[in-house]
Amino acid sequence: MEKDWTDTKYVVRDCAVRIGLCKGGIAWRCLGCDVSMTFAPVMHSVLLILNPVAGRRRHGLVDAVVRCVRDAGWTVDVVETQAAGDARRLAEGCDAARYGVVAVAGGDGTINEVVNGLAVRAATAPPLALVPLGTANVLAQELGLGATAPALARTMTAGREVLMHPGWASETGAHRCFSLMAGAGFDAKVVAGVTAPLKRRWGKGAYVWRSLVEARRYRPVRYAVVVDGMRCEAASVIVTRARHYAGPYVVAPAASLDMPLLHVCLFERWGWTQALRFGAALVSGTLPRTSGYRVVAGHQVTISVQNDAGESRRQPVQIDGDDALTLPVSIGVSSEAVRLLRPG
């Protein structure tokens, strides 16, 4: 039903929402984008975007979170996605006069869609809360979210806001934001080779299996990486906004979501044995100290193929764990921001 905006209650409510957003924007500009703020929503209502395919075994967690949020006196509307792109459309079209929070229940790929939708709206969008259901849940790890329904519900209703400027990656005719990372080389080829049915069936094991496949077919492709004008060369590269990768594993110790800065992780040694060595170092927590690996910080990055080593196949770019683009790409930090909720 269309709202009659001559009705006083809607005028008052709309003004309250806009005043709240303006106050938040002024505070962020005065304090700096690296300062989190206590979350005080005008509307005690949540739009929960649910990917029904992600983490099917954990859907009981979603029901429990919804019960906890409703027990706290909030209303929750649950909308399930039906196809790729639905989560972005729902986030972009969310009514900020009706919902105080947009929440997403899904994996990093679904979260990426929602971030892209909210980034279009910038300061007019409600803050984003997470119910992590996916394989890796890197953003949840980055925010320090609890694993229980009561903890996730508390973050949703009384968390602290952090202002995040997403990264963006662009190839000819395609532009996409990322909250976590964009990668090219070995990890991108692994991601491109893991199908959705395989991931649902094997979980993280699908990535281990695909890593072994990619190691066997390895070619010493060389990538040219330019960071703020400084030229580098790498066997594989991950451009990240976050400390973590593939769950709890640290790749960029100095990275932080509330800093508008990219951290470029360079794997500078070639060969399938080196790829497996880097993988073992990642899992063991020693990657930042491993020889042949370094991290360079910057604001503008380009990645292209310098030498394809006779590998005729497409060179994919993974974004937040999804096969998204193809080299060459340009990468930067968005001028617009998304508000994320983390534990208070």
Which of 158, 167, 141 shows the shortest CA–CA distance to 259?
A: 167
Mean pLDDT value across the chain:
87
* Model pLDDT, residue 285: 96
* Model pLDDT, residue 204: 83
Query: pLDDT class for 56, splitting at 50, 70, 90?
Result: low
Tens-place pLDDT, residues 138-193: 999 999 999 899 999 999 999 999 999 999 999 987 789 999 999 999 999 999 99
Buried b (16+ CB within 10 A) or exposed e, 304-334: ebeeeeeeeeebbbbbbbbbbbbbbbebbbb
263 pLDDT exceeds 50?
yes
Number of helices (H), then strands (E), in the chain: 10, 21
Residues 8-163+337-342, CATH architecture: 3-Layer(aba) Sandwich (3.40)
Sign of CA dihedral 204, 206, 207, 212: positive
The β-bridge partners of 232 are 225
59 pLDDT exceeds 80?
no
Tens-place pLDDT, residues 121-141: 877 899 999 999 987 889 999
> Which residue type sits at 223?
Y
* Model pLDDT, residue 195: 87
* Model pLDDT, residue 42: 58
Tens-place pLDDT, residues 189-219: 999 999 888 888 888 889 889 999 998 999 9
Which of 104, 12, 131 shows the shortest CA–CA distance to 49?
A: 104
Residues whose CB is less than 8 angstroms from the CB of residue 154 and which lie 6 or more positions away in sequence, other chains included:
68, 146, 343, 344
17 pLDDT exceeds 80?
no
* Model pLDDT, residue 132: 93
Query: pLDDT class for 15, splitting at 50, 70, 90?
Result: very low
Domain with CATH 2.60.200.40 in the chain: 168-333
- Higher local confidence (pLDDT), 286 or 41: 286
Q: Is 56 within 8 Å of 135 (Cβ atoms)?
A: no
How far from chain centre, in Å, is Cα 159? 19
pLDDT-above-70 percentage for the chain: 87
CATH 2.60.200.40 fits 168-333, yes or no: yes
* Model pLDDT, residue 49: 98
pLDDT-above-90 percentage for the chain: 71
* Model pLDDT, residue 38: 52
How far from chain centre, in Å, is Cα 62? 19
**C-alpha neighbours within 13 Å on the C-beta side of residue 292:** 16
199 conformational bin, left if phi > 0, alpha if psi -120 to 50, beta if neither: alpha
7 pLDDT exceeds 50?
no
Task: Name the 3-class secondary structure at 209.
Answer: helix
